[in-house]
Amino acid sequence: MKILNLLSKFTLVVALAFTFHLNLKAQTTEEGKALYNANCTACHAINDKVVGPALKDVHKRREEAWLIKWIKNSQALIKSGDAQAVQLYKENNEAMMTSFENLSDIEVKSIIAYIKAESEAPAAAATAAVAPTSGGNMEAANTDWNSAINWLLFIITIILVLIIATVSKILGRIGDIQGKPIINWNKTNSILLMAFLVIGLGAATWEFWAHSKHTVFSSGPASEHGGEYDSMFMVTLILTGIVFVITQVLLFWYGFKYKADGKRKALYYPDNHKIELLWTVIPAIVLTVLVIRGLMTWNAMMYNKSEKSRNIEIYAYQFGWNARYAGVDNKLGAHNFREQGKMNALGVDTNDVNAYDDVITNELHLEVNQPVDLAFRAKDVIHSALLPHFRVQMNVVPGLPTRFGFTPTVTTAEMRTKLKKPEFDYILLCNKICGGAHYRMKMKVVVDTKEDYQKWMKSQKVLVNKTTANAAAVALK
């Protein structure tokens, strides 16, 4: 009866929690608030201008369909020649807004609903709930159904655990009454140890076999230094894998072989100098070789900058990236953090002549077989730039510029053909947990042929127009 009462109370608590969860999911403005806080607060506020303009009553100034397009990909809308988009872009010093293509239309509508509620509510009043659209209802229903299944599985698992615990306790009581255990737990646990070993190693082997083709290593490196990087990784993986298998087999086997049976007394064996010397010296030698090789590889990658390297600056912020290309002179203009969000979003000093022909984009384009030197800057918190297919990773620290140089060797088109994936794109990711929207902080990377790269660069707009640049050059003379 006590078990039944406990299960009843537990089920009631879970049901109440589940109901509360459904009520929260039904509130579109609450979902919009969470999305807004995760994606928009770095650059916008409802009533005040931050990096971008204040958003109060934006639903009155723009149509919802237009807002969805703008939020999901503002640059595409600008390039299409949309008059409203171009005007807004110029009004905000041509600062680039991060693309949010990972958000669904329903999620964007939730953000707009939250902004609308905040715009219409008094300053001290709570945000009013806005009814979701029919599409939102359908999506919410699917989410709630999946959530209900998960809760049901959780409850069943808890019930099974309670049943097993109760049966075990009953058997223990029976053993106490009879004067001998019903279950020989030493023997049972030793068998379970071997079963765990076999199942665990089998599962690990299957995991390597089944899913290794889905990793970036399956496609091979797309940079010059990538081959050496992959070689180091595989050597380390093989060595540690061999040691792992040996130690785990011995650990579980000895647990099985020397299980307590009441007939054997443990032998006290204080030390063995030969064995201890063996398992100390061999790992030390192996690790020394690996570390020295790693240091030599790192130095070769970091301190071998080519004079032909193209200079590009990668600018990180919550939660997006921008790329700044040096122009024909291959010299990046000076950076002034005090100018961020004023003259331009990146804080490029437009008084520097070298900045006139700089190009700022929200995509990273590279030329195949052309060395590139990436300089990294961060606006707010520590990020980590990860280009997995190129085997590149570098921390991006506010106030401390970092660099990494490499040479891409496989174009995007070639990699698509190799992987048989026409939709494939290289990406730049953030590998540090930098905030609530860290999961979507990524930028598309394109590796072009020389001709395609030059064509793309010619289509980009320079930071300072040619008339202004020529006038400034004459004034400097």
CA–CA gap between residue 13 and residue 16 (Å, rounded): 5
Residue 24's pLDDT is 41
Give the phi and the psi of residue 121 in degrees, each rounded to 5.
-80, 145
Cβ atoms of 314 and 375 within 8 Å: the answer is: yes
Q: Is the pLDDT of residue 11 over 90?
A: no
Confidence at 223, pLDDT banded by 50, 70, 90: very high
CB atoms within 10 A of CB 40: 22
Q: Are 339 and 349 a contacting pair, CB within 8 Å?
A: yes
Both tokens of 361, joined, read 């984009």
Q: In the prediction, which pLDDT does 179 show?
A: 76
- Beta pairing class for 364-367 and 442-448: parallel
Q: What is the DSSP string of 89-122?
A: HHHTTTPPPPP-TTS-HHHHHHHHHHHHHHHHS-
- For the chain, the straight-line distance linking the first and the last C-alpha, in angstroms and rounded, comes to 96
Least confidently predicted of 42-51, 62-71, 428-437: 42-51
User: Is this prediction's pTM over 0.75?
Assistant: no
Domain boundaries of the chain, sorted by first residue: 27-131, 184-302, 310-476
For residue 280, the surrounding DSSP H or E stretch is helix 273-302
pLDDT of residue 50: 65
Tell me the β-bridge partners of 449.
none
Q: How confident is the model at residue 196 (pLDDT cuts 50, 70, 90)?
A: very high
Which residue type, as a one-letter code, is found at position 185? W
Q: What homologous superfamily does CATH list for 310-476?
A: Cupredoxins -  blue copper proteins (2.60.40.420)
DSSP structure class, residue 183: S
Tokens of 272: 């063995």
Rounded distance between C-alpha atoms, residue 391 and residue 406, angstroms: 9
CA distance 119 to 133: 20
Using the predicted structure, report yes or no on whether residue 184 has a pLDDT greater than 80: no
| 130, 120 contact by CB (below 8 A) | no
Between 466 and 283, residue with greater pLDDT: 283
State how far the alpha carbon of 411 is from the alpha carbons of 27, 224, 323, 391, 453, in Å: 46, 13, 19, 15, 11
CA dihedral of residues 275, 276, 282, 284 (deg, nearest 10): 180
The H or E element spanning position 334 is none
Closest C-alpha to 151, from 2, 5, 10, 6? 10
- Average pLDDT on 23-38 reads 64
- The pLDDT-based confidence of 198 (bands split at 50, 70, 90) is very high
Q: Which residues 6+ apart lie within 8 Å of 129 measured at CB?
A: 27, 28, 29, 30, 117
- The model's pLDDT over 124-163, given as tens digits with 9 standing for 90+, comes to 443 333 333 444 445 445 555 667 788 888 889 899 888 8
Q: Map residue 403 onto helix, strand or coil.
A: strand
pLDDT value of residue 465:
65
Inter-residue contact 297 to 229 (CB < 8 Å) = yes
Question: CB under 8 Å to 37, separation ≥6 — which residues?
Answer: 436
Residue 338: DSSP 8-state: G
CATH number of 27-131: 1.10.760.10
Structure-token pair, residue 323: 């790329």
In tens, the pLDDT along 355-404 reads 888 898 889 999 999 999 999 999 889 999 999 999 999 999 998 889 99
Q: What does the alpha-carbon distance between residue 325 and residue 277 come to, in Å, rounded to a whole number?
A: 56
Output the CA torsion sign for 73, 75, 79, 82.
positive
Q: In a 10 Å sphere around its CB, with 0-12 CB exposed, 13-18 middle and 19+ buried, how is residue 267 labelled?
A: exposed
Residue 340 DSSP label: B
Q: Answer yes or no: are the C-beta atoms of 348 and 333 closer than 8 Å.
A: yes
